[in-house]
Chains A and B, each alone.
Chain A
Amino acid sequence: DAGVTQSPTHLIKTRGQQVTLRCSPKSGHDTVSWYQQALGQGPQFIFQYYEEEERQRGNFPDRFSGHQFPNYSSELNVNALLLGDSALYLCASSLRGYYGYTFGSGTRLTVV
């Protein structure tokens, strides 16, 4: 039973560049949430997608955007990267109406 798959696992970008992170949810899940985990901190909620629409958003600037596809997979896009965007980005999937979140192993983004 495949869990949540995130790609890539690591990447390095330069300030000002743009990045796209990808997430495939657990089989049977229809909702995808993204979290940012800076070093030494707890994960912070970025946004949640359901039925291809952004349903909730945390306190992140609009440089952070996302998309959900008909197969429930999702992308997180970050534009105009800042050094402070360096973090572990976690994707969590769930089934709408149920409190069972499954997290992926994350994408480690380093901005230099």
Chain B
Amino acid sequence: AQSVTQLDSQVPVFEEAPVELRCNYSSSVSVYLFWYVQYPNQGLQLLLKYLSGSTLVKGINGFEAEFNKSQTSFHLRKPSVHISDTAEYFCAVSDLEYGNKLVFGAGTILRVKS
């Protein structure tokens, strides 16, 4: 069975500082990995995804993530955050079976302070 662990429930950070949101996954098969962002009272927006190829994935809004198979991690990073990045971030995994479901972590709330 697949599972996702987001190691921090909340991450406070000052504006223009770098940030890393940590995600570890467990799966018995090869996987696809995703990061989604959820703003208050809204649905989920895809930030980036890893399907294959380069382990460093770049997404929208200046975010990037690195797939580390040996450590089963997919941490999300941004070199300089803005107030507008305040939101909840979800890591998700899906296995390589055709059209399979997403399994989400519990989420990390990123609070950017001025």
Contacts and interface: CB of A to CB of B under 8 A. Distances in A.
B99 A43 contact: no
Contacts of A99: 32, 49, 51, 94
B79 to A, nearest CB: 26
Contacts, number: 60
Interface in A27-64: 31, 33, 35, 40-45, 48, 50, 55-56, 58
A42 B105 contact: yes
Nearest to A96: B99
A6 B20 CA distance: 33
Nearest to A46: B101
Interface of A: 4, 31, 33, 35, 40-45, 48, 50, 55-56, 58, 90, 92, 94, 96-97, 99-106
